[in-house]
């Protein structure tokens, strides 16, 4: 009986050792793919490893880290190429991976959660699903109220992105609420930044920005004004009003 148990234990240990070697080998292959910039292939391998490796194994943390990294990179690439259906799916997947990693990694890693929520907002707006986008925006506003948003996201956030005539247009929304007295000041809530692009479609130079202002006046109407701002050669800011919308009944 003892001999049988010993033999069985040897078989189990041998199986576990071989399985561990296989996982390490797969991890090394995924790592090579990542280092050679084969992000798609590396993503799939790290995804399988994250699902396969026991959470008690030290290799699990590394697999989760790189799974999160590759998923986030693919989300970014698809979003910048306006493939918002893919970036939305990858963004939600990356967010789930980030939430798994929050108990395992440091505070810097945890900040990724809110930046990914912001990315999901952009994808929803890119798809024209504004109601869903507003739901995700509300998560950012709730976190803002708790004063838990990381630096770089604590004052404003990107909520839309698109390309037009070889220009990148980024829409940002400020968290600061509209003033209670809407006639008290000129107020900017949304700004569209317009950039020229390089040969790879990346931002090159900021050309100008469009401010959506709540214009205050002396009457009972208030106007939404689209103002174009850019710097001239003397570095002075030039302002041009492009559009005015008068909303009645206030």
Describe the strand order of the beta sheet including 222-231 as a list of residue ranges.
156-164, 167-174, 187-197, 203-215, 222-231, 237-247
Task: Give which of 175, 114, 174 is closest to 139, Cα–Cα.
Answer: 114
* Whole-number Cα distances in Å, 116 to 79, 221, 237: 12, 39, 33
Confidence (pLDDT) at 224: 58
User: Which domains, from first to last, does the chain contain?
Assistant: 22-146 (1.25.40), 165-250 (no CATH)
Tens-of-pLDDT digits for all 250 residues of the chain? 444 434 333 433 344 444 567 788 889 999 999 999 999 999 999 999 999 999 999 899 999 999 999 999 999 999 999 999 999 999 999 999 999 999 999 999 999 999 999 999 999 999 999 999 999 999 999 999 999 999 999 999 999 999 989 999 999 999 988 777 766 666 778 899 999 999 988 999 988 888 876 665 554 555 556 666 565 555 555 555 544 444 544 4
Q: Are strands 203-215 and 187-197 parallel, antiparallel or unpaired?
A: antiparallel
Confidence (pLDDT) at 215: 61
Find how far residue 149's CA is from the centre of its chain. 14
pTM, rounded to two decimals: 0.82
């Amino acid at each position: 009986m003892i001999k049988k148990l010993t033999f069985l234990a040897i078989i189990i240990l041998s199986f576990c050792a071989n399985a561990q070697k296989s996982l390490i080998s797969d991890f090394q292959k995924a790592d090579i793919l990542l280092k050679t910039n084969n992000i798609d292939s590396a993503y799939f391998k790290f995804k399988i490893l994250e699902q396969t490796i026991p959470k008690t194994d030290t290799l699990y943390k590394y697999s989760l880290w790189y799974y999160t990294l590759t998923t986030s990179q693919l989300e970014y690439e698809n979003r910048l190429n306006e493939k918002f259906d893919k970036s939305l799916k990858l963004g939600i997947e990356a967010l789930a991976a980030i939430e798994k990693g929050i108990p395992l990694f440091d505070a810097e890693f945890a900040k990724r959660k809110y930046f990914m929520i912001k990315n999901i907002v952009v994808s929803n707006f890119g798809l024209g699903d504004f109601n869903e986008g507003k739901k995700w925006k509300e998560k950012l506003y709730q976190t803002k109220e708790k004063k838990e948003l990381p630096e770089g996201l604590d004052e404003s956030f990107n909520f839309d992105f698109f390309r037009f005539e070889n220009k990148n247009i980024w829409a940002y929304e400020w968290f600061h609420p509209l003033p209670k007295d809407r006639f008290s000041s000129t107020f900017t809530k949304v700004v569209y930044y317009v950039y020229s692009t390089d040969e790879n479609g990346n931002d090159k130079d900021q050309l100008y920005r469009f401010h959506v202002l709540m214009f205050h006046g002396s009457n009972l109407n208030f106007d939404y004004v689209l103002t174009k701002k850019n710097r001239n050669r003397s570095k002075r800011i030039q302002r041009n009003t492009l559009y005015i919308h008068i909303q009645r009944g206030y």
